Chain A
Amino acid sequence: MRHRTRATLAALPLYLFVLVFVLGPLVYMLVLSFMTRDGRGAAAVFTLENYRRIFDPVYFDTVLQSLGLACTSTALVTLIGYPLGLCTAFLGGKWPSFFRTAQMIPYFVNSLLRLVGWIIIFRANGLLDTVLMALGVTEEPLRLLYTYPAVVVGMVYVLLPFMFLSVQQVALQLDRTLIEASRDLGAGRVRTFLSVILPLTLPGLKTGILLTFIPSMGLFFIASILGGSKVVLLGSLIEEQLMRAHNQPFAAALSVFMMLLTGIISLLLLEHKPHDKRTDRKNGGEKSE
């Protein structure tokens, strides 16, 4: 019995911290989303107005644009990152960890600072323009800064490591003899890829998509630095409502909405990996000491 009281005492700090500083804010956010705006604050008057407003064309356009940008970024990240993860995993030897470290190092340099490089490249008469014009490809500056494509590039740049690492990790665990067996039995490279490699690396792919899609809706600073006011994300919308319009309830409703979106998408993606759920349950059984 002494064990349990000691354990309880030791677990108490985190328990209380999480209840107060994680559950509290989440509950408050939910409550706020149903309150009415009152000057700079909120009045305890129940209303569904905040949620209705989300579907106003003005705002809903932003939601759609966010989703669109998220989809585009995720698609590009998948296109670039998935092959990258596979390639580096199959190189063998010390190469997988070399490339993993190589990708991780820039990641630890502040993401903002890394985007600065892209600003230099993209701005009018910046590096890209200078090179292209010198080569004679274009005659006028492209003015890529503050455009949608620039934001996409920024997103892909920041989020690539997540996809790459997830895929590489799964690919490294792939049993190579399965590929050899498939080739031995007569399947060509494409067929082997589709029926062996792809299905077995799917979990890593799914994780990567999850880790790319969800942040991409909220990383408003990428949009504001590379896209200016032209590209507005759901995240930027929340920021604006909170900081400039001082509309806490609406911002809360938008946040709840955003969490619902990401939650549904996560569930959709996780629904389709039944074999992972089984291994999770096996690995999740812990000792009751």
Chain B
Amino acid sequence: MKKNASHSHRLSFLYAMIMTVLTYLPIFIVAVYSFNAGRLTSVWEGISLDWYKKLFSDDDILSALGNSLFLGIASSLCAAILATSAALTLPRSALPCKKGVEVLALAPMIIPEIVLGMIFLAFFSLLGLPFGMLTLLIAHTAFGIPYIYTEVRAALVSLDTSIPDAARDLGAGPLRAFFTVTLPMLFPAILSGMFLSFAMSFDDVIISIYVTGVSVNTLPIKVYTQLKTGLSPEIFALCTVMTAVVLLCTGTAALIGKFRKRKGY
């Protein structure tokens, strides 16, 4: 029995490792080729950092990157404010059809992106809104809300209500109690939701293509349009850089997690 157990243990591990390697394979290949001096992937012309230099001096890509970062952060923030305030107060409010609105708020998470893109495009043109950062912001906020809403809701269920009560009892008005006690306790959930919302926004291709204006490019859009005309090694460099950034962020998040464990909440 024991021999079997470790046998299957080793098999499981092997399978998991193989799949992990396969997952990283394309990225790894791209990274390797990003250092290729030549353009063609079929010919290796020696190591070079040219493409990285080109990447960091390509204004188009850099401005698209800037747009994506701004869009991601701004839409996460808007979504966080809207979702958190409503998650806390909607059940107690006097508004009609609360359950229905809740379902609608979560809907963008399950509606296919292409459909979302389409309906936003049609609706925005109906309203006559100028296509650009504004429409991008509205659309990204809309599909960011579900992530934060669900996280905050879940955190609220396990929140000890006597703690905000204690703040009121000790002399804090309702707003004061909220900002000094309730909100800090909800921070982990809000941040986690914002992180997901940012990731979704940063990665979004389909919806962004539809609701953006001619002059505004997000990073995924820029990459997509470039890919349609053919491969360019700049893209390889971009991919490698982004992987490095994600690795860095994940590492930092893990360290923060360890630090928070010492504080105990």
Contact = CB atoms under 8 A, between A and B. Distances in A.
Interface of A: 3-8, 10-15, 17-19, 21-26, 28-29, 32, 80, 83-84, 86-88, 90-91, 95, 99, 101-106, 108-121, 123, 125-127, 130, 157, 160, 214-215, 217-221, 224-225, 234-235, 238-239, 242, 248, 251-252, 255, 258-259, 262, 266, 283, 286-289
B119 A118 contact: no
Contact of A126 (B12, B16, B41): B41
B116 to A, nearest CB: 8
A160 B20 CA distance: 11
B33 A13 contact: no
25 contacts: A10-B85, A11-B89, A13-B82, A13-B85, A15-B101, A17-B82, A17-B141, A29-B122, A80-B19, A102-B20, A102-B23, A109-B27, A109-B243, A109-B246, A110-B202, A114-B239, A120-B26, A157-B26, A214-B110, A219-B113, A224-B228, A239-B114, A251-B118, A255-B118, A262-B110
B166 to A, nearest CB: 15
Interface string B90-123: 1111110000010011011011111100111111
A17 B139 CA distance: 11
Please name the 7 residue pairs, one residue from A and one from B, whose CB atoms are nearest each other, closest first.
Answer: A117-B26, A14-B86, A87-B12, A25-B119, A218-B112, A25-B123, A113-B239
B192 interface: no
Given A18-B145, A25-B119, A225-B224, 4 more contacts: A110-B223, A116-B30, A286-B91, A287-B161
Among A18, A114, A127, the most chain B Cβ lie within 10 Å of the Cβ of A18
Given A11-B89, A22-B142, A117 B27 contact: yes
A177 B19 CA distance: 28
Contacts of A235: 112, 114, 206
- Would you call the interface of chain A mostly helix, strand, loop, or mixed? helix
Contacts of B24: 106
- Would you call the interface of chain B mostly helix, strand, loop, or mixed? helix
Contacts of A102: 20, 23
Interface string B230-250: 010001101100110011011
Contacts of A25: 119-120, 122-123
B203 interface: yes
A113 B121 CA distance: 25
B105 A106 contact: no
A87 B15 contact: yes
B168 to A, nearest CB: 12
Contact of B16 (A5, A99, A252): A99
Contacts of A120: 26, 29-30, 33, 41, 231
B118 A252 contact: yes
